[in-house]
Amino acid sequence: MPTTTRAAVLWNIGEDWKIEEVELDDPKSTDVLVKMKVAGMCHSDEHAVTGDLPLALPVIGGHEGAGVVEAVGDQVTTLKPGDHVSMSFIPSCGRCKWCATGRQYLCDEGAKLFNPGMMSDDRIAHHVKDPDGNMVPVGRYTQLGTFSEHVLVSENSLVKVDDDLPFGPIALVSCGVATGFGAATKRAGTQPGENVAVVGIGGVGINSVQGAAIAGAKRVIAIDPIEFKREQAMAMGATHTYASMDEALLALPELTWGDMCERVIVTVGVFHGTDLEKAMNLASKDGTIVITGLSPMMEENATLNSFMLSMMNKEIKGTVFGSTNPREAIPRLLSMYREGKLKLEELITRTYTLDEVNQGYQDLRDGKNIRGVIEFPD
C-alpha cells in the first residue's frame, strides 16, 4: 500500500519550497522506508532554488537527515525496522572500483544522484499532484529528499547508528560536519603546528575550523563577513578572524612571520573562480588549497597565476564529503561527539517545522544560522 507523506517540493527555479502531499511506492528490492526525525538545512539545497545546480523539477529538497527505519525491501540485508540511520548523500555500493580501493566518496552509484527513478531499479516511485491536478513524478535531492516526513531511499544511502544518540547530531554528520571536518583533516592534511585559513563559516566551514583545531593547528584563521559567524568560529576553535580575504591578506604576513597558511580551505556557499587567486595568495609556499564550496555548474573560468602555482610548489584540490568514507566517517564522528571531542549540538542555531522551511532558508541567506534543522513530529 503506497505511503502518503508531506514534503517540501521545488516546482520552479527562484520559487519558494511548497509543502505538498507526495505518494511513495512501497519499498522493493534494496529500498528502505524511513520515518524522518531531523533534516539539516544545508546551503547545497539553495543551489537548486537559485539554479546554480540545474535539476529536473519538481524535486523534494534535503540531503542531510536522521530517522528510523519503518520497512525494508526483500533484498535489504544490513537494516531492519526500528534501526536508527543517518542519511548519506554519497551512496556506497561496496563493490565498484572506488569503494573497493577505499574511496567510497567516489562510488559509481553517485552517477544516479539526480536521476528521477530509484537507485535500486530506476522505477518512478514518488508522485505529486501538479497544479492541474495530475499525478506527476517528483525527484529527490541526491536521491534522498529529507525535507519529507517519510523518505524512500536506497540501502546504499543509509548508515546505521547507535540508538541512544540524539537525532540532531546524527543528521548533521551526514553532510556538513563530515565534509568540513574531512576537508581539514584528510583532504588538506592539516598537521600539528600549522597555520590554517578557513574561508566561509557556515555549516561546512565551522567544522573545518573544528577539524583544524583538533588536528593541532597552531593558528586557525576564520574568514567571514558576518560577525555572528566569526564569533561562532572562535567558540569552535578559531584563534583569529577576519571579515574578508583582503583583510586577512593584509594581516597574515605579520601574524605568521611571513609564512602565510600551509592549508587554506574554501567553504563559501557559492564559490566563483574569480576568488581562486585570493585563496592562492593566502597559502604558503608548498601550501594546499582545498575547495569545498559549490560553483554554478556552468561556470568554467578561474583566475590563477600559474607561474606562482608552480614556482611556489602549491596545490589546489577539490573535495566531496571531505574525501572521507560515509560508513567509516559517520560512526567515527559520532563517537568523537559522544566522548566530548567534537561539538555537534552547538552547531544548531535554530529548529524549524517542515512548514517553516522557507523561513529557515531566508535565515540562512541573512546569515543568522550556522545550521538550521527541521524537526519532525513523532
The residue-averaged pLDDT of 58-76 equals 96
**Residue 201 to residue 210: CA distance in whole angstroms:** 11
Nine-digit cell at 334? 559520532
The CATH number assigned to the domain holding 259 equals: 3.40.50.720
In a domain, 336, yes or no: no
Q: What are residue 315's DSSP bridge partners?
A: 288
The residue-averaged pLDDT of 270-274 equals 88
pLDDT of residue 171: 97
Residues 137 and 244 in one domain: no
Residue 335: which residues within 8 A CB-CB, separation 6 or more? none
**Residue of 184, 248, 192 lying closest to 210 (CA atoms):** 184
244 secondary structure, DSSP code: S
Query: Any idea how long the chain is?
Result: 378
Contact of 233 with 241, CB cutoff 8 Å? yes
> Measured between alpha carbons, how far apart are the two ends of the chain, in Å?
21
The residue-averaged pLDDT of 205-216 equals 98
pLDDT of residue 126: 95
pLDDT band per the 50, 70, 90 thresholds, residue 2: low
Residues 24 and 105 in one domain: yes
Residues 199 and 226 in one domain: yes
Residues 313 and 234 in one domain: yes
In a domain, 330, yes or no: no
Residue 140 has pLDDT above 90, yes or no: yes
Tens digits of residue pLDDT in 342-369? 999 999 999 999 999 999 999 999 999 9
pLDDT of residue 103: 94
48 secondary structure, DSSP code: H
The CA-atom distances, in angstroms, between 315 and each of 208, 231, 282, 306 are 18, 30, 12, 11
The mean of the pLDDT values for the chain is 94
**Residue 146 to residue 36: CA distance in whole angstroms:** 7
The residue-averaged pLDDT of 117-140 equals 93
In a domain, 350, yes or no: yes
Residue 292 has pLDDT above 80, yes or no: yes
In a domain, 337, yes or no: no
pLDDT band per the 50, 70, 90 thresholds, residue 301: confident
**Residue 378 to residue 373: CA distance in whole angstroms:** 16
Residues 211 and 74 in one domain: no
In a domain, 363, yes or no: yes
* Domain extent at residue 273: 180-320
In a domain, 333, yes or no: no
pLDDT of residue 118: 94
pLDDT band per the 50, 70, 90 thresholds, residue 142: very high
Total count of domains within the chain: 2
Residue 1 has pLDDT above 60, yes or no: no
In a domain, 43, yes or no: yes
Nine-digit cell at 39? 533534516
**Residue 53 to residue 42: CA distance in whole angstroms:** 14
pLDDT of residue 298: 79
**Residue 211 to residue 229: CA distance in whole angstroms:** 17
Nine-digit cell at 225? 563577513
**Residue of 230, 246, 240, 252 lying closest to 278 (CA atoms):** 246
In a domain, 210, yes or no: yes
Nine-digit cell at 24? 511513495
pLDDT band per the 50, 70, 90 thresholds, residue 269: confident
Alpha-helical (H) ranges within the chain are 43-50, 97-100, 167-172, 176-182, 205-214, 227-235, 245-255, 276-282, 306-311, 326-338, 357-365
pLDDT band per the 50, 70, 90 thresholds, residue 47: confident
The CA-atom distances, in angstroms, between 356 and each of 18, 137, 149, 362, 363 are 10, 24, 14, 10, 11
pLDDT of residue 81: 97
The CA-atom distances, in angstroms, between 181 and each of 136, 272, 310, 371 are 39, 22, 28, 15
The CATH number assigned to the domain holding 80 equals: 3.90.180.10
The residue-averaged pLDDT of 279-286 equals 96
pLDDT of residue 295: 82
Residues 186 and 166 in one domain: no
Cis omega (within 30 of 0) for bond into 58? yes
Residues 132 and 103 in one domain: yes
Residues 209 and 278 in one domain: yes
Residues 8 and 114 in one domain: yes
**Residue 318 to residue 188: CA distance in whole angstroms:** 10
Other CB atoms within a 10 A radius of the CB of residue 49 amount to 19
**Residue 239 to residue 248: CA distance in whole angstroms:** 13
Residues 165 and 21 in one domain: yes
pLDDT of residue 43: 87
pLDDT of residue 55: 86
Residues 271 and 299 in one domain: yes
Of the listed ranges 110-114, 156-160, 285-289, the least confidently predicted one is: 110-114
